[in-house]
Structure 1
Amino acid sequence: MTLPFGALRAFEAAARLSSFSRAGDELRVTHAAISHQIRHLEEWFGRALFLREKRGVRLAPEAKRFAEILSSSFERISIEAELLKLSTRSEITVACIPSIATRWLIPSLGDFLARHPDVTIRVVYAMAEQRLRETGCDILITLGADTSEGVVCQPLFSRAAQPVASPRYLERKGNFRQATQIATADLLHDETTAHWAQWLDKAGVPFTQTLKGPVFQDFNLLATAVIAGHGVALCPVELCRREIENGDLVVLSDVSILEHENYFLIRKASPQKSISAFSTWFKSVTNR
Structure 2
Amino acid sequence: MSRLPLDQIDAFVTAARLRNLTRAAEAMHLTVSALSHRMRLLEERLGQRVLARGPRGVELTPAGQRLFDAVAAPLDAIENALQRLSLHTDHMVTLSLIPSMATAWLVPRLPNFLAAHPELGLNLQSSTHVVDFEREPVDMALRLGGGRWPGVHSEFLFHEWITPVASPQLLEKYGRPSLATLPKLPLLGDPANRWKDWFEHYGGEPPVRYVAQFDDTETLHQAAAQGVGVALARWTLAEPLIKAGRLVPLTKKRLKANFAHYLVYPERSVAHPGCQKMRQWLLDQAAVQP
Same fold (TM over 0.5): yes
TM bin (shorter chain): 0.5 to 0.7
Tell me the SS of whatever aligns to 2:141: strand
Aligned equivalents of 2:100, 2:180: Cα separation in 1: 29
AA aligned opposite 1:225: A
Residue 168 of structure 2 corresponds to which residue in structure 1?
Answer: 167
Residue 20 of structure 1 corresponds to which residue in structure 2?
Answer: none
Aligned equivalents of 1:87, 1:148: Cα separation in 2: 22
Bigger Rg over Cα: 1
Tell me the SS of whatever aligns to 1:170: helix
Tell me the SS of whatever aligns to 1:191: coil
Equivalent residues in 2 for 1:121-270, closer than 5 Å: 121-127=122-128, 130=130, 133=133, 136=136, 137-176=138-177, 178-192=178-192, 194-207=193-206, 210-245=208-243, 247-269=245-267, 270=270
How far 1:102 sits from its partner (Å)? 0.7
Aligned equivalents of 1:222, 1:87: Cα separation in 2: 37
How far 1:187 sits from its partner (Å)? 1.2
How far 1:255 sits from its partner (Å)? 4.9
Please provide the CA RMSD for this pair: 2.9
Residue 42 of structure 1 corresponds to which residue in structure 2?
Answer: none
Aligned equivalents of 1:113, 1:94: Cα separation in 2: 14
Residue 9 of structure 2 corresponds to which residue in structure 1?
Answer: none
Tell me the SS of whatever aligns to 1:212: coil
Aligned equivalents of 1:100, 1:106: Cα separation in 2: 9
Cα deviation, 1:160-196, whole Å, max 9, x if unaligned, reads 21111222321222111x233211112123325x212
Say if 1:104 and 1:206 are closer, same or farther in 2 by CA, change over 3 A. Answer: closer
How far 1:113 sits from its partner (Å)? 2.0
How far 1:119 sits from its partner (Å)? 1.9
Under a length normalisation based on structure 2, what TM-score does the superposition of the two structures give?
0.59
AA aligned opposite 2:205: P
How far 1:91 sits from its partner (Å)? 2.0
Cα deviation, 1:13-71, whole Å, max 9, x if unaligned, reads xxxxxxxxxxxxxxxxxxxxxxxxxxxxxxxxxxxxxxxxxxxxxxxxxxxxxxxxxxx
How far 1:153 sits from its partner (Å)? 2.1
Aligned equivalents of 1:105, 1:87: Cα separation in 2: 21
Tell me the SS of whatever aligns to 1:230: coil
Tell me the SS of whatever aligns to 2:96: strand
Residue 120 of structure 2 corresponds to which residue in structure 1?
Answer: 119
Cα deviation, 1:69-95, whole Å, max 9, x if unaligned, reads xxxxxxxxxxxxxxxxx9986222111
Under a length normalisation based on structure 1, what TM-score does the superposition of the two structures give?
0.59
Tell me the SS of whatever aligns to 1:226: helix
Asked if 2 retains the 8 angstrom alpha-carbon contact of 1:95 and 1:123, the reply is yes
AA aligned opposite 1:204: G
Say if 1:131 and 1:89 are closer, same or farther in 2 by CA, change over 3 A. Answer: closer
Asked if 1 retains the 8 angstrom alpha-carbon contact of 2:183 and 2:205, the reply is no
Tell me the SS of whatever aligns to 1:156: strand
Unaligned runs of 5+ in 1: 1-85
Aligned equivalents of 2:158, 2:266: Cα separation in 1: 20
Aligned equivalents of 1:249, 1:132: Cα separation in 2: 36
Tell me the SS of whatever aligns to 1:261: strand
Residue 96 of structure 1 corresponds to which residue in structure 2?
Answer: 97
How far 1:275 sits from its partner (Å)? 0.8
Asked if 2 retains the 8 angstrom alpha-carbon contact of 1:96 and 1:126, the reply is yes
Asked if 1 retains the 8 angstrom alpha-carbon contact of 2:218 and 2:237, the reply is no
Asked if 1 retains the 8 angstrom alpha-carbon contact of 2:104 and 2:239, the reply is no
AA aligned opposite 1:102: T
Seq. identity, %:
28
Tell me the SS of whatever aligns to 1:122: strand
Unaligned runs of 5+ in 2: 1-86
AA aligned opposite 1:156: L
Aligned equivalents of 1:244, 1:135: Cα separation in 2: 39
